[in-house]
């Protein structure tokens, strides 16, 4: 980024009363836009501190917690105590945004619900995320990413047709929820600039999960047919599949007729063009198993690197299937600039680029005690 305007949310104060991933993800995105984010943890700490894989079991800090809480100031307060609640209310008096992710009704019982806080600070944007919403059914259900993936149909569409459904390999709904909550907050702040009034932004993991499935859910509403699990294939056409080479796997997406013709020529299989099973994308998807078998026989004679280079040369959409080690070592990741130093650690930067805005380095979280903290 070149030197220019300061970050767009410079001077905006955000009070984060959320734990785990979805709410903190929104706070992180707002911090990347320049907001001053103060995170209030319970006395025992954010539950995200406990989210560790076996690989991270011996690390001093949870990578999930580290990743979603950089560029924030952290303080632990007991919202159930009069002292802790009073201190939070003083912070709310100066805040522009509050983010909370408690079960419906919890914040109201603490005297920190939306109505109470907007009465106290009418310019406040109150951002709330729940598992399943505040309706009579949703408010009774606790929701985390894997549970919401099950309830929303995501698991039913993910995996292979001859096996039980599977979850997405990371907390996709939580992460998407952070983005949705962030842009809801930005919309409310934009309107506040015109009206002077705050607002309440509410969403649920369940609603975000449904919206992520706009395409297949709309198809079901129109046809009544459940989307089949397609494994590592894009179900709407073929070849759009994971294909095995001599030393690994590639993804090819040759769904346009021009791509299909270029692909068959590149792999030395022009006869596929005249095969009645593969006349168009629908026919190729219908006979996907036979098509993939024929293609992989050709690909077995070359390496991933060879096939990627050859297919890119003729304009076919192709990519090596990479693990995280390959991603981190890839010059493309270095070019993107998203995997960056955070103090003495490393983290992931915001994907949003404001090219005429002053860039600042990613900063580690600052954990403050009650004496150090001044709001």
Structure tokens at 45: 């700490």
State which residues form the domain around 181: 13-213+334-367
Tally the domains of the chain. Answer: 2
Average pLDDT over residues 24-46: 95
pLDDT of residue 37: 96
CATH number for the domain spanning 190: value is 3.40.50.10540
Instruction: Using DSSP bridges, classify how beta strands 339-342 and 125-130 pair: parallel, antiparallel or unpaired.
Output: unpaired
pLDDT reported for residue 5: 73
Q: Does 128 share its domain with 247?
A: no
- Whether 227 maps to a domain, the answer reads no
% of the chain surpassing 70 pLDDT = 97
Reduced to 3 DSSP states, what percent helix, strand and coil does the chain have, rounded to the nearest 5? 40, 15, 40
Residue-wise pLDDT for 152-178, tens only, equals: 999 999 999 889 998 988 999 999 999
The angle subtended at Cα 216 by Cα 186 and Cα 183, nearest 5°, is 5
Domain assignment present for residue 118? The answer is yes
pLDDT of 358 strictly over 90: no
One domain for residues 57 and 178: yes
Taking the C-alpha atoms of residue 159 and residue 153, their distance in angstroms, rounded to an integer, is 12
User: Does the pLDDT at position 374 exceed 80?
Assistant: no
- How would residue 248 be classed by pLDDT, with cut points 50, 70 and 90? very high
Cβ pair 166, 220 in contact under 8 A: no
Catalytic residue among 174, 199, 207, 241: 174
Instruction: Report the CATH number that the domain containing residue 270 is assigned in CATH.
Output: 3.30.1540.10
pLDDT for 162: 87
Q: Are residues 122 and 94 in the same domain?
A: yes
**Residue 2 pLDDT:** 45
Mean pLDDT taken over the chain: 91
pLDDT score recorded for residue 345: 83
Known active-site residue 174: yes
DSSP annotation of 208: H
Weakest mean pLDDT among 262-276, 304-318, 323-337: 323-337
Note whether 57 and 134 are same-domain residues: yes
| Domain-embedded: residue 287 | yes
Q: What is the pLDDT of residue 154?
A: 93
* Residue 129, strand partner residues: 203
Task: Return the pLDDT at 370.
Answer: 61
pLDDT recorded at residue 4: 60
Question: Of the candidates 136, 140, 99, which has an alpha carbon nearest to the alpha carbon of residue 117?
Answer: 99
Written as six digits, the tokens of 173 are 């709904």
Is 60 exceeded by the pLDDT of residue 371?
Answer: no
In a domain, 272, yes or no: yes
| pLDDT of residue 3 exceeding 70 | no
Nearest one of 345, 332, 341, 346 to 360, comparing CA atoms: 341
Helix (H, G, I), strand (E, B) or coil at 317: strand
Tell me, yes or no, whether 175 lies in a domain. yes
Q: Is residue 77 domain-shared with residue 201, that is, in the same domain?
A: yes
Domain check: are 342 and 294 in the same one? no
Mean pLDDT in residue range 260-273: 94
Give the residue with greater pLDDT, 137 vs 16: 16
Helix axes 205-212, 172-195, angle to 10 degrees: 100
Phi, psi dihedrals of residue 140, rounded to the nearest 5°: -85, -10
Measured in whole angstroms, the distance separating CA 223 from the mean position of its chain's CA atoms is 29
For residue 356, the model assigns a pLDDT of 83
**Cβ neighbour number for residue 63 with a 10 Å cutoff:** 16
CB 231 within 8 Å of CB 161: yes
Q: How far apart are CA 184 and CA 271, in angstroms?
A: 53
**What would the mean pLDDT of 308-331 be, rounded to a whole number?**
92
What CA dihedral angle connects 118, 119, 121 and 125, to 10 degrees?
10
Greater pLDDT, 272 or 5: 272
pLDDT at 294: 95
Question: Residues 201, 247: one domain?
Answer: no
1 band by pLDDT with thresholds 50, 70 and 90? very low
């Amino acid at each position: 980024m070149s030197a220019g305007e300061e970050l767009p949310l410079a001077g905006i104060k955000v009070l984060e009363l959320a734990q785990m991933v979805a709410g903190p993800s929104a706070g992180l995105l707002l911090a990347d836009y320049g907001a001053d984010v103060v995170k209030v943890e319970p006395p025992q700490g954010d539950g995200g501190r406990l989210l560790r894989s076996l690989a991270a079991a011996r690390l001093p800090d949870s990578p999930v917690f580290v990743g979603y809480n950089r560029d924030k100031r952290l303080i632990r307060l007991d919202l159930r105590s009069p002292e802790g609640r009073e201190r939070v209310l003083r912070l709310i008096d100066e805040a522009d945004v509050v983010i909370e992710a408690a079960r419906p009704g919890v914040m109201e019982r603490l005297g920190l619900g939306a109505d109470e806080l907007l009465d106290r600070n009418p310019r406040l944007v109150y951002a709330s995320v729940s598992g399943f919403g505040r309706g009579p059914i949703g408010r009774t259900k606790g929701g985390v990413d894997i549970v919401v993936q099950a309830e929303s149909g995501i698991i039913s569409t993910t995996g292979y047709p001859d096996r039980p459904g599977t979850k997405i390999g990371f907390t996709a709904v939580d992460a998407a929820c952070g983005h949705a909550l962030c842009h809801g907050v930005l919309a409310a702040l934009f309107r506040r600039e015109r009206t002077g009034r705050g607002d309440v932004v509410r969403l649920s993991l369940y609603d975000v999960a449904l919206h992520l499935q706009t395409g297949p859910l709309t198809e079901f509403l129109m046809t009544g047919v459940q989307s089949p699990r397609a494994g590592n294939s894009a179900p709407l056409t073929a070849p759009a599949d994971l294909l095995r080479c001599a030393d690994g796997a590639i993804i090819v997406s040759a769904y346009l007729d021009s791509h299909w013709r270029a692909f068959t020529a590149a792999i030395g299989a022009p006869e596929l063009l005249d095969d009645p099973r593969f006349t168009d994308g629908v026919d190729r998807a219908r006979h996907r198993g036979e098509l993939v078998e024929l293609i992989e026989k050709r690909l077995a004679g070359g390496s991933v690197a060879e096939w990627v280079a050859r297919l890119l040369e003729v304009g076919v959409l192709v990519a090596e299937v990479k693990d995280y080690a390959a991603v981190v070592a890839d010059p493309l990741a270095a070019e993107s600039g998203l995997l960056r130093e955070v103090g003495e650690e490393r983290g992931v930067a915001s994907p949003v680029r404001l090219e005429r805005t002053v860039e600042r380095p990613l900063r580690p979280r600052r954990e403050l005690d009650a004496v150090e903290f001044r709001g």
